[in-house]
Amino acid sequence: MMFNLLKKKHTETQKRNVEAVIVELVAKNLSGGGYRFDDVSTLENKIDEIIKKNNLGEFDGNEFGPGVITLYMYGPDSEKLFSSIKPVLEESPLCKNARVIIRQGGPGSKQREEVIA
């Protein structure tokens, strides 16, 4: 039952905030630099604060996979969302060589990519 409630909330959020910014952190940047999970959490908190402060949508969470950690953000304007969080991504060593997908609609919509130097 709890899963259905979470799934319903996630679906409703995506309907309101159909555009997405997806950040893929290269996991080797995390392990090789002595970074910890706390560092990822700090990055997420900074991103979430910017999104909330500027009413840009929401930070929807993360996914830890083999070799990559993915951060998901949704809002009504993905370009505005990305331009607002880009300075935080650029200043964080965790984001070196991170791939950012800026999607202008739901899955399958037009999108572009940037790599954080």
What digits encode the pLDDT tens for the residues 16-50? 668 999 999 987 655 555 556 668 899 999 999 99
pLDDT value for 2: 41
pLDDT value for 6: 44
pLDDT value for 4: 46
pLDDT value for 61: 93
pLDDT value for 84: 98
pLDDT value for 14: 52
pLDDT value for 27: 72
User: Within 13 Å, how many C-alpha atoms sit on residue 80's CB side?
Assistant: 12
Pairing of strands 99-103, 68-75: unpaired
Secondary-structure breakdown of the chain: helix, strand, coil percentages, each rounded to the nearest 5: 45, 30, 25
Residue 36, token pair as written in the block? 């910890």
Nearest-angstrom CA–CA distance, 104 and 110: 6
pLDDT value for 67: 83
Residue type at position 35: Y
Q: Strand, coil or helix: what is 75?
A: strand
- Domain 20-115 part of CATH 3.30.70: yes
pLDDT value for 39: 85
The residues of the chain scoring below 70 in pLDDT are 1-17, 28-38
Q: Residue 29 in contact with residue 84, Cβ under 8 Å?
A: no
